[in-house]
A and B are shown apart, each in its own frame.
Chain A
Amino acid sequence: MSQHDDEATGSAVEAHTPREVSIGTAVANSDAVENPGLPPHRERVTDLDPRKDRQMSRRVVALFLFSILASIFAIVAYFVWPIDVSVEGFGTIRNNNMAIGIGLAFALLAIGTGVVLWGKNLMSGEEFVEQRHGTRGTDEVRAKVVKIFDDANKESGFGRRKLIRNTLFGAIAAWPLPAIFLFRDLAPAAEPHELLRHTMWDAGIRLVRDPDGTPIRAADVTIGSAFHVIPENLEEADHVLDAKAKAVVLLMRLNPAELNEREDRKDWSYDGIVAYSKICTHVGCPVALYEQHTHHLLCPCHQSQFDVANHAAVIFGPAARPLPQLPIEVDAEGYLVAKSDFTEPVGPSFWERER
């Protein structure tokens, strides 16, 4: 056992007189068991047997050499297994990935293993003891610090010239305020909650298939079908994805006998065909898992379930409101069209929603 610096001599368990601090509710026991001190040092085989020492150093050298080989392999692999998707197919990416990766991984692991073996077996195995010193500065230093602050206060008049000091605080506090305004242009100059109340849907807008835009005849929607629908004028939107994020609709046909509609929405469907917003009223995932026999719609993100046969009421999961229904009818050519926009904001609840 050896001490690591000259000042900290003495046994490992040293009599220490700490500053008096509260021990709180800790129990001080005068008859506590005493620390027996460090156990005797145990020599390793590499300390005792020079042959083992040589063996270990050879092993470490072998690992480092192996690492060099593995690094070279990674470089070679870069050329030997090139990525050539057009000719050889996608497997080449996998081969390239794996070959380079194997080279790099083994180069790293060999260095690491070698260095650790060196440290554990060949470097000194002795345990060292270092004394801790309390974290707080000594009383002497602390007194000096207090004096420095005192002097600074006197010389600056920081405590005495209150008006100067307080106006400075005010000025510094006011200075960042413009930043709040500078960030206003992170978004365009509109009222965001007004935007949430409208979608691309409007009276006479055809329901078309996502993504290719084919219009849908009522007759196409057989019982048990589910169509993923967008408005036909979607491509005219300034930001197509923004518009799509609010306008996507799921179109389903149920047996009219199984459809329990609200009185005021009897004319929102067409012969058992109903259209509901696909945006979950919980946090906005697309709700699109339609079970044609149970008529349940399931959101795959948080498992909210809506009963399509029962005006999309929430029957399970964290959603708070039924999915908004899109009123639909059939135009002169037999295609399904919207009767109006949604009558309520689609998607998640928000503060101003009911205003």
Chain B
Amino acid sequence: MIGLLSTGGAYAAFGATATADETTAVSQSTLDEGEKLFAANCATCHGAALEGTEAGPSLHGVGAASVDFQVGTGRMPMAFDGAQAERKPVQFTDEQVKALAAYVASISPGPAIPDEEYLQGDTDAANGAELFRINCAMCHNVAGAGGALTEGKFAPPLGGVAPEHIYEAMVTGPQNMPVFNDMNLSPADKADIISYLTYVDDNSSPGGFELGSLGPVAEGLFIWIFGLGAVIAITVWLTAKAN
């Protein structure tokens, strides 16, 4: 009984740390730095008071996780108005990203940057893989190779994406990705999914080179170009008269 209670308590605590709005104290200097960065880089589109403009949406209720994801993966600031914001080289240092996130969260509270404990990649990968197949694979592909969406949008490949960004994407639902809140996938579930993706990243295929994990299309092209190509080269050599 005590065990059960303590487990439940621990679970509640996890839930709290993972979902609570930014409550830990952030130094004023960080917030000032964030405010400056925001005014210089974001306010043109999102408005000085985060209210949004015609060029960019309002940032009400976005929280730190969203900022960390969007800016930390280089999607924001956007380079041009495409079908969707794309991953590109990050324009700010890690501290600057965190300052920006802290500033936005201080005005517009929302999901926080996840705790380290969920990002270790050492939890139940089997559960993670099953959840990944049900909730994520239809867009991102079972091996995380990415896939197409409507009208030129796409679900990006997940290889090499930092665990915190994966977590933040699930919590905030960037672009057209649905939101997976903690009642849908608990923080432990999210940690399992990250563990599975970490496993996929860390372990190369036992069968050899993977041809982009694109499945039968890549395999078919390979056999036509290289398989039949090699065989035809052999037939030409075979039937050519020797010198």
B183 A220 Cβ-Cβ under 8 A: yes
30 sample A-B contacts, Cβ–Cβ < 8 Å, listed by A number: A44-B243, A45-B242, A45-B243, A91-B204, A91-B206, A94-B204, A94-B205, A97-B206, A98-B208, A120-B241, A211-B134, A220-B181, A222-B179, A222-B181, A223-B179, A224-B179, A225-B173, A226-B179, A227-B184, A252-B178, A286-B138, A288-B138, A289-B147, A289-B149, A290-B178, A291-B176, A292-B179, A293-B176, A300-B138, A316-B150
Mark interface residues in A114-155 (1 if CB within 8 Å of B CB, else 0): 001000110001000000000000000000000000000000
For the complex, is A321 an interface residue (Cβ under 8 Å from B)? no
B135 A228 Cβ-Cβ under 8 A: yes
B139 A289 Cβ-Cβ under 8 A: yes
For the complex, is B89 an interface residue (Cβ under 8 Å from A)? no
Mark interface residues in B93-122 (1 if CB within 8 Å of A CB, else 0): 000000000000000000000000000000
Number of interface residues of A (CB under 8 A): 43
Q: Return chain A residues, CB-CB under 8 Å to B207.
A: 94, 97
For the complex, is A269 an interface residue (Cβ under 8 Å from B)? no
For the complex, is A339 an interface residue (Cβ under 8 Å from B)? no
List residues of A (207-245) whose CB comes within 8 Å of B's CBs: 209-211, 216-217, 220-228
For the complex, is B6 an interface residue (Cβ under 8 Å from A)? no
Q: Return chain B residues, CB-CB under 8 Å to A120.
A: 238, 241-242
CB distance from B83 to the nearest CB of A (A): 11
Q: Return chain B residues, CB-CB under 8 Å to A224.
A: 173, 178-179
Instruction: Compute how far the CA of A89 lies from the CA of B202 in the bound complex, rounded to whole angstroms.
Output: 11
Q: Return chain A residues, CB-CB under 8 Å to B150.
A: 291, 294, 296, 298, 305, 316
For the complex, is A340 an interface residue (Cβ under 8 Å from B)? no
For the complex, is B180 an interface residue (Cβ under 8 Å from A)? yes
For the complex, is A46 an interface residue (Cβ under 8 Å from B)? yes
CB distance from B97 to the nearest CB of A (A): 24
For the complex, is B7 an interface residue (Cβ under 8 Å from A)? no
Mark interface residues in A287-317 (1 if CB within 8 Å of B CB, else 0): 0111111101010100001000000000010
Q: Return chain A residues, CB-CB under 8 Å to B134.
A: 210-211, 228
Beyond A94-B207, A298-B149, is A225–B184 a contact (Cβ under 8 Å)? Answer: yes
Beyond A97-B207, A228-B135, A252-B178, is A291–B149 a contact (Cβ under 8 Å)? Answer: yes
Instruction: Compute how far the CA of A96 lies from the CA of B183 in the bound complex, rounded to whole angstroms.
Output: 44
Instruction: Compute how far the CA of A293 lies from the CA of B176 in the bound complex, rounded to whole angstroms.
Output: 5
In the complex, which of the residues B176, B180, B238 has the most CB atoms of chain A within 10 Å of its own CB atom?
Answer: B176
Mark interface residues in A82-108 (1 if CB within 8 Å of B CB, else 0): 000000011101100110000000000
CB distance from B164 to the nearest CB of A (A): 20
Q: Choose from A46, A296, A305 the contact partner of B242 (Cβ within 8 Å).
A: A46
Interface majority SS (helix, strand, loop, mixed), chain B: loop
Number of interface residues of B (CB under 8 A): 32
CB distance from A80 to the nearest CB of B (A): 17
List residues of B (144-186) whose CB comes within 8 Å of A's CBs: 147, 149-151, 153, 155, 173, 175-181, 183-184
Q: Return chain A residues, CB-CB under 8 Å to B243.
A: 44-45
Instruction: Compute how far the CA of A227 lies from the CA of B178 in the bound complex, rounded to whole angstroms.
Output: 9
List residues of A (189-213) whose CB comes within 8 Å of B's CBs: 209-211
Q: Return chain A residues, CB-CB under 8 Å to B135.
A: 228
Q: Return chain B residues, CB-CB under 8 Å to A252.
A: 178
CB distance from A40 to the nearest CB of B (A): 13
Q: Residues on A close to B: CB < 8 A? A: 42, 44-46, 89-91, 93-94, 97-98, 116, 120-121, 125, 209-211, 216-217, 220-228, 252, 286, 288-294, 296, 298, 300, 305, 316
A291 B153 Cβ-Cβ under 8 A: yes
Instruction: Compute how far the CA of A7 lies from the CA of B161 in the bound complex, rounded to whole angstroms.
Output: 77
B176 A292 Cβ-Cβ under 8 A: yes
Beyond A94-B207, A211-B134, A289-B138, is A125–B241 a contact (Cβ under 8 Å)? Answer: yes
Q: Return chain B residues, CB-CB under 8 Å to A289.
A: 138-139, 147, 149, 155
Instruction: Compute how far the CA of A298 lies from the CA of B149 in the bound complex, rounded to whole angstroms.
Output: 7
Instruction: Compute how far the CA of A27 lies from the CA of B134 in the bound complex, rounded to whole angstroms.
Output: 68
A97 B176 Cβ-Cβ under 8 A: no
For the complex, is B201 an interface residue (Cβ under 8 Å from A)? no
CB distance from A151 to the nearest CB of B (A): 50
Q: Choose from A90, A288, A298 the contact partner of B203 (Cβ within 8 Å).
A: A90
Closest residue of chain B to A85 (Cβ to Cβ) is B206
Q: Return chain A residues, CB-CB under 8 Å to B151.
A: 294
B184 A209 Cβ-Cβ under 8 A: yes
Instruction: Compute how far the CA of A217 lies from the CA of B183 in the bound complex, rounded to whole angstroms.
Output: 9
Instruction: Compute how far the CA of A215 lies from the CA of B213 in the bound complex, rounded to whole angstroms.
Output: 35
